């Protein structure tokens, strides 16, 4: 497979798509989660649309994205963004809503601005929940990209998986599955390492 099936090329294409989908999906999820967390009005207005988007099956959108964007990286990345977005957004929203009100009122008593309240209280308090969502998102990004590659594409491990199935090539299918698993494990471990570095001020993280 290294010689004839360009397995390293397919691995690289899947890895790039996972990284882009994860980065964009988590960024959008964080922004929307913080906006909904600090604004009740925004939550009332946007929640029905976000919930409807989450309930709808992502696999059903993949052929539509392929028709819109073509057989390239974009459909895979968009599917990954849709799958990654929701767990990050929900975790951030819940964390912001559960900030200690006493701490909030204490900082406000020192005439803190709204932006200072966010950076000094809400953002640090949301970091543990945010990283919990990022752990989930790291594995979901691999699923989203592989689904996009399986439904339409000429590159990536998902495509290699479907191609091996069509050729009844069991070793190729196993290689694609193992490599997808390794990509997911590496993405998850990467998030855990960054979490340990960012949250080293927490007693449990420091002890670990």
CATH code of the domain in which 22 resides: 1.10.3720.10
- Gap between the Cα atoms of 22 and 77, Å rounded: 8
Q: Would you say residue 199 has pLDDT above 70?
A: yes
Q: Would you say residue 26 has pLDDT above 60?
A: yes
pLDDT of residue 183: 92
Q: How many domains does the chain have?
A: 1
Question: Does residue 169 belong to any structural domain of this protein?
Answer: yes
| Overall average pLDDT of the 89-107 stretch | 82
Question: Does residue 84 belong to any structural domain of this protein?
Answer: yes
Among 61-75, 90-104, 135-149, name the one with the lowest average pLDDT: 61-75
Q: Which residue has the higher pLDDT, 70 or 49?
A: 49
Confidence of residue 158 (pLDDT cuts 50, 70, 90): confident
Question: Does residue 1 belong to any structural domain of this protein?
Answer: no
What range defines the domain where residue 122 resides?
7-207
pLDDT of residue 203: 58
Q: Would you say residue 46 has pLDDT above 60?
A: yes
Q: Which residue has the higher pLDDT, 32 or 105?
A: 32
Q: Would you say residue 178 has pLDDT above 90?
A: yes
- Residue 197's CB is within 10 A of a number of other CB atoms, namely 9
| Overall average pLDDT of the 36-54 stretch | 78
Question: Does residue 123 belong to any structural domain of this protein?
Answer: yes
Supply the DSSP symbol for 132. H
Q: Would you say residue 204 has pLDDT above 60?
A: no
Q: Give the three-state DSSP class for 52.
A: helix
| Overall average pLDDT of the 184-204 stretch | 83
- Gap between the Cα atoms of 76 and 10, Å rounded: 13
pTM of the model: 0.81
Residue located via tokens 């057989």: 71
Confidence of residue 202 (pLDDT cuts 50, 70, 90): low
Reported residue count of the chain is 208
Among 51-65, 76-90, 113-127, name the one with the lowest average pLDDT: 51-65
Percentage of the chain exceeding pLDDT 90: 14
Question: Does residue 70 belong to any structural domain of this protein?
Answer: yes
């Amino acid at each position: 497979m290294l010689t004839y099936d360009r397995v390293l090329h397919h691995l690289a294409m899947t890895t790039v798509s996972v990284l882009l989908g994860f980065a964009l999906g988590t960024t959008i999820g964080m922004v929307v989660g913080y906006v909904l967390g600090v604004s009740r009005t925004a939550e009332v207005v946007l929640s029905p649309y976000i919930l409807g988007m989450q309930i709808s099956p992502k696999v059903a959108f993949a052929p539509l994205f392929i028709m819109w964007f073509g057989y390239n990286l974009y459909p895979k990345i968009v599917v990954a963004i849709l799958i990654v977005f929701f767990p990050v957004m929900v975790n951030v929203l819940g964390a912001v809503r559960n900030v200690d009100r006493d701490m909030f009122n204490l900082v406000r008593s020192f005439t803190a601005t709204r932006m200072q309240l966010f950076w000094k209280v809400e953002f640090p308090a949301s970091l543990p929940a945010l990283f919990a969502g990022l752990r989930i998102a790291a594995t979901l990004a691999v699923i989203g990209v592989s689904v996009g590659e399986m439904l339409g594409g000429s590159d990536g491990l998902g495509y290699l998986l479907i191609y091996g199935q069509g050729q009844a090539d069991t070793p190729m299918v196993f290689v694609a599955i193992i490599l997808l698993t390794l990509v997911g494990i590496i993405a998850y471990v990467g998030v855990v390492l960054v979490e340990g570095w960012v949250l080293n001020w927490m007693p449990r993280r420091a002890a670990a």
